[in-house]
Homo-oligomer: A and B are copies of this chain.
Amino acid sequence: MVNIAVMGYGTVGSGVVEVLNLNKNVITQRAGDEINVKYVLDLRDFPGDPVQEKIVHDFDVILNDPDIQIVVEVMGGVEPAHTFVKRCLEAGKSVATSNKALVAKHGAELLSIARERDINFLFEASVGGGIPIIRALNSSMTADEIEEITGILNGTTNYMLSKMFYEGADYDEVLKEAQDKGYAERNPEADVEGYDACRKIAILSSLISGQQVDFEDIYTEGITKITKEDMMYAKEMGMTIKLLASSKRRGNHLHAIVSPALLGKDHPLYNVDGVFNAIFVRGNVLGDAMFYGSGAGKLPTASAVVADVVDEAKHLHRNIMTMWKSEKLELLPIRDTQKRFFVRASGDMEARRAEVEECFGKARYVKADGLDGEFGFLTEVMTEGDYMQKAEGFPGILHMIRAEG
């Protein structure tokens, strides 16, 4: 029997206990041993809950019990999660976590402690919920140099953008609806400003480079400025707008960015709607691959956490190698990235065509029905630095959205 402790009995924590009970037989078979939840750490009590006898309020009970070989951390936030996880690892207990903030910030350090002690620190659930992207990068795509990884990594904003696209709803409307349905938090900042996606792409960037990518270094723009008018132009062009988190290789360096992006119908992420997540990966020999699934939610996230627990039970005294050194990787500056830019500008399209061309060169022009006194154009590929410079000399820009592909 392998004894584990679950730290945090919120949505994911209770999901972990539920999954371990529901699929007990198959999990025991695959882990090679029965997984037993001995403790659940939470500040609250849960009278009447099946775990009520297992609830402890004191972290030291877990830390000091030599029976506990694996600890699940699903409290969220950097502290006290970091202190607890670090002490567990130092005490020789493997840790599985869904905590993206913790992993983005301290992943390299925690992996190195686990490596030294021949135990494991796994975090499949921290990116893409139930999509097994971490293990794919870590143990499946090991023959490849990963050239690009681009994902829809936040279900809340993807739900909102899908609503805006299909129903012509405005931002405030869909935010309120998402909040009412429980898809968005009352304070939605982490989702709508792109902070959540930013931490996730920082983790993926660290894994594909093998070095520390600091999330603070990643240019991050949320969806708060996306309007139903933007969606009208997107539709007119046969495109959609998604919040993309992306990391692309140039030589030994990476460009990373989180921002809304226009996608054409042939982009593999075009059809990813609602609360789903999807991750596109390009390897130098593998070519293009895409992973799609539930990016969040109690059971899909718990499924990923429990899969990590199973892996840790199978590797109790053996480290599963993860390449992620603490040495920091400097990202390439955003001004050097190459893209097309969609610009909404005020004025009459025909009257300003020559002006656009003089400033930005060749472009694709677009008018949206019912939007008078303005027009849009999509530039050819140029660097972000070039675009910025040109945009300064072009009055009346209402909004700019980057375009992929």
How close is A375's CB to chain B, nearest CB, in angstroms?
Answer: 31
Q: Do B323 and A143 have beta carbons less than 8 Å apart?
A: no
Q: Do A144 and B23 have beta carbons less than 8 Å apart?
A: yes
> Which residues of B are found within 8 Å of A292, using beta-carbon distances?
268, 289-292
A323 to B314, CA, bound (A): 13
8 Å CB contact of A293 from B32, B142, B290, B299:
B290
A131 to B27, CA, bound (A): 24
**Which residue of the partner chain B has the closest CB to A35?**
B143
Interface positions of A from 149 to 173, Cβ below 8 Å from B: none
Q: Do B285 and A145 have beta carbons less than 8 Å apart?
A: no
Q: Do B285 and A299 have beta carbons less than 8 Å apart?
A: yes
**Which residue of the partner chain B has the closest CB to A15?**
B285
Interface positions of A from 31 to 84, Cβ below 8 Å from B: 31-32
* A295-311 interface code vs B (CB 8 A; 1 in, 0 out): 00101101111110111
Q: Do B143 and A303 have beta carbons less than 8 Å apart?
A: yes
A67 to B102, CA, bound (A): 44
**Which residue of the partner chain B has the closest CB to A288?**
B293
> Which residues of B are found within 8 Å of A310, using beta-carbon distances?
142-143
Q: Which of A135, A285, A294, A300 has the most CB of B within 10 A?
A: A285
Q: Do A289 and B143 have beta carbons less than 8 Å apart?
A: no
A30 within 8 A of B: yes
A226 to B285, CA, bound (A): 34
26 contacts between A and B (CB under 8 A): A22-B284, A26-B145, A27-B142, A29-B210, A29-B323, A30-B321, A124-B140, A130-B287, A135-B135, A135-B140, A136-B136, A139-B139, A141-B307, A142-B306, A268-B292, A271-B271, A283-B303, A285-B300, A286-B294, A286-B299, A286-B303, A287-B294, A287-B299, A290-B290, A290-B291, A314-B321
Contact of A286 with B130 at beta-carbon distance under 8 Å, contacts A140-B124, A143-B23 already known: yes
> Which residues of B are found within 8 Å of A307, using beta-carbon distances?
139-143
A142 to B310, CA, bound (A): 7
A359 within 8 A of B: no
Consensus secondary structure, chain A interface: mixed
How close is A295's CB to chain B, nearest CB, in angstroms?
Answer: 10
As for how many copies of this chain the complex holds, the number is: 2
**Which residue of the partner chain B has the closest CB to A310?**
B142
A19 within 8 A of B: yes
A132 within 8 A of B: yes
A142 to B268, CA, bound (A): 27
8 Å CB contact of A145 from B23, B145, B293, B318:
B23
**Which residue of the partner chain B has the closest CB to A314?**
B321
A46 to B268, CA, bound (A): 40
A31 to B321, CA, bound (A): 9
**Which residue of the partner chain B has the closest CB to A293?**
B289
A299 to B145, CA, bound (A): 13
Q: Do B300 and A286 have beta carbons less than 8 Å apart?
A: yes
> Which residues of B are found within 8 Å of A140, using beta-carbon distances?
124, 132, 135-136, 304, 307
How close is A404's CB to chain B, nearest CB, in angstroms?
Answer: 17
Q: Which of A132, A268, A288, A311 has the most CB of B within 10 A?
A: A132
8 Å CB contact of A297 from B287, B293, B305, B323:
B287
> Which residues of B are found within 8 Å of A321, using beta-carbon distances?
30, 32, 314
**Which residue of the partner chain B has the closest CB to A305?**
B143
Q: Do B132 and A285 have beta carbons less than 8 Å apart?
A: no
> Which residues of B are found within 8 Å of A130, using beta-carbon distances?
283, 286-287, 289
A266 to B343, CA, bound (A): 32
